[in-house]
Structure 1
Amino acid sequence: MTMNTFTCVLVIVCAVKLHLASLQSNLVPCAEHCKCLYPTRDTPTQYMDCINQSLTYFPKETKLKTTVPTYIFFIDNNLTVVNSATFRNISRLRVVFLRLRNNGIKNISRDAFNTLRFLQHLDLSYNSINLQQLRSSFRSIRSISFQNLNMSHMSIEAIPENMFESFENLSAVNISLAFNHLTLFNTKVIETVPGLKFLNLAWNKLTNLSMWANFSSNMKRLKLDNNYLYDVPNFCKNNSLSFFPELVILNLQFNFMRTIIPEHYSCLSQLRRFYLNGNLFQTLKTNMFAGLHSIVRITLSETFALRKIEKAPFNNTSLKKVFFRKNALYTEMHRGHLNIFEGCTSMELLNMADNIFDKTSEAQFDELFKPLGNLTILIMGGCRLTQIPRAVTKYLRNLQELVLYNNRIGSWPDGTLNSLVYLHTVYMRQNVISLVSELSFPPGFRRRAKKVDLSDNAFQCTCELKWFIHWMKKEPQVFNVTDFHQYYKCMSPSSVHGVDLAHIILSKNICMLDLNSKIITLTCSTLLVVFVVVGSVLYHLRWHLRYLIYMMRYNNRHEVDTGHYEYDAFIAYGQNDRPWVIKTLMPILEGQGQLKLCIHDRDFEVGKLIVDNIVDCIDNSRCLVIILSNSFAESGWCQFELALIQRYILENGNRPLVVVMLEEINTRHVTKAMRAMLQTTTYLLWGEEDYARKAFFNRLRLLLHRPTHKARTRTNSV
């Protein structure tokens, strides 16, 4: 029997389950309390479903074809006794599959299956049948194509030695005794079944297998998982010959084995799959599996008692797949070296998910991955990784699938994946990735990509992510999503928190504007920093600067201003003070005093920027007059004019400044600039009495009179 044929036999029961489940909606009522599926061109088999109907017999159905393979599901009924008459109503059918699960069967006749000439699969699970009667009934199974016998969940405590002697002429048969109460299994029970290919003894209470010296079986698969085995059974005769020389699959997982002795299984020269999950091994020794010359797959996961791993326990050039999950493997426990897979030059798949690698050094990763140059699939989900180990891209050049879900990876340097020229699948869901650079996935990878999963990450939905969103929308089959909302959401900025990536609008114009905004922000930030630094320096040198300015102004006081000006005085005033300026100030100074004043309501150039008007008028005025009032203090433009005037005087110290206090200023309106001006400049007070007004204008005209060449001195401020 070829391996492919054997595989088909093993999975046929599961296939029937799945197929029946998919056909439930197509079943139609047929015989009494049953449903049927009749054969069609697409389904060349037929089904009769009599489940949970409290039936005590098989109803007759005349529409089922007599020449078509028939599957009968007679489950959860009340059959109690089975004999040849039990199957009279279905004897005309070509029954190949018969499930009698949980029917309360206690007695069965020796001729029970005489009429079922084509029977291939028989399920007697969840019945408590007398084993001696059952052994006799097997003689009535005459089909040489019989393949599967299910005797699980039958509360069996011991199997008679000659239980299956009726199957001695079958070329390939599979027997399940799972979920019973067996404490010991003697191999003499199966010695009479040379065609036995699969024996399932899982979920019993076995503590050992009893194998006698002359025993030998052609069995391909043996399941001993979930028993009470404390040691690996000895499958070898004299350390070289095997009791099971054809064994391909051995399942010993979830027992209580504390030690693993290579001499007990190294004779299994045909063994390809070895399942050891969930045992209590404390130490993995060097070359534990070196004697298994055909081994392809080893699963050694969930060994939570593991405390020590010696050098190269998996050393075997035939080994292609290793599942080493949930072993509490962490660097601190294995101080120093991590050369676990030394000698595994043919390994193609390594699953090390749910171990602890957050403190593993790059040197240790080098030891771990250096021997695995032919690895094509690496699975390290849930390993607390904060970055993609450099050893992955350094040594695993043939990698095709990289699985790093549920870690703490936030990003990886641009170009990291460039060396993985065969990589086509990346699973990195449930990490802390916020931004994905366009160089994170090189163009070659994007052309090859078959599957990319970055779901459940903390995406920052800015323009840097625009290319990634475009890629997802362009190739949804790569991301295996037709609806983004369940998997890909924005976490920041706060304005789009929880929004689907598919609904984020990041157009070229928006992103260009965003880029310009960043440039402007950066420029303004730079200038602000420069201003802060310069301001800080000036603040610390303020007294030196004040002394310098004072000395310059003192020296200039004796100079005669002989410049030519368009105006005698520039008048700065608030809008509410305009009537006073027009009706009181201008008639006296321009009418009687024959001075030319610069009044912004009259003299500012139309169409010119206000700032330019102010600067030009100040520059063309011989004196500067500020009409100080609450209106002036509250006006933003007036404060701006004041700042320009103060700066102009600071830069051109020879220009006279006259301050007129029109009214008492409310202290809450006094700015720092105004306070500094009032503290350093003498001002004229406006009064309402006649003598006060006359004295006011006399002093003001004196301050604003045009100088002559005979003038010797001048005062810059009043």
Structure 2
Amino acid sequence: MLVPLRKLSSLTIVNGGINQITVLNDFTNLTYIDYSFNRIKEIQGDVVQNLTKLNQFVLQSNGLNNINQTFLPDFLWKKKNFLLDVSSNPFDCGCQLEWFRVWVENNKDRVTGYPNNYICDSPSELKGKSLSNFDPALECHKINPYIILTSISCGLLSILIFTTILLRKFRWDIKYYFYICKNRKPMGYRRFTDDEEFLYDAFIAYNTNDRKWIMSELVRMLERNHKYKLCLHERDIIPGGVYVDDILESIDTSRKLILVLSNNFMDDQWCKYETALASHTLADGDGHKLFLILLENIRSEHINRSLKVLLKSISHVEWTENKTGQRMFWQTLKQFMDKS
């Protein structure tokens, strides 16, 4: 019917029971189209793709519930003098209508009947309300609670990992800080000893395989730097006597007993004997005379009941290559040596 009307400039088909619009691209002179009061539920932009002269498109009171960017070709959405009338349609005011809602807000002068005749038909909470009440920013960009939970979990995990790395990296600095706070001395502190009762300030129980550390670190710091007199079995016990008696006598004539623990130490029979002597000393109430130095991590097979009791009951300190940790190590050891 319309084919011969090539120069048609205005087309009005109202209340015609039409379900869809016929492609009108051949009618390039059309400036006005009115399909009001029909049954049109959707339309695609290619229907009017060539209608560059179109100034007004009326689709009032149809079955349109969603309008998106493909509803019209781009040039019509951008055309300043173009008027669109899609009032009195059963709009589904959900997130699928977000693009049109934003476009209407920015082009109110190009939308006929807005906002009074643009009423939501769904969802139930917006039914009967104006399309202007639908706010995509609130309704369509809610953060999924699972995303929030995942973000919080990832954040906490990142903090935990970061904290663990920091604690591992600066653990000796932290230990040193707490050590300083815990062991801050009052003014006027001085060392009280009664050197006349003892031949040595400390008997050092160690394994000969750890001799290098004993001489280069322990002897250097305590004897050479702080002038303590240490008893070392390789250096100070004269061969020829009964070794057990010599050990006992050396411990009795020493103000302190320091056990330098290592896996080598725990494998040595004489060292086990010295550990037993330390346990007896603790049992006799002289635990204040005992001190443990851990040169390395002791393997689980070496941690017997006696060692557990010693570690729980007397002071001990762990050797480390960390400079701050070493400063705390020597201050802890010197504090022990200064006690009477």
Give your verdict on TM over 0.5. Answer: no
What interval of TM-score do these two structures reach, taking the shorter chain for normalisation? 0.3 to 0.5
TM-score by length of 2: 0.41
TM-score by length of 1: 0.20
Q: Which structure has the higher relative contact order (CA within 8 Å, separation 6+)?
A: 2
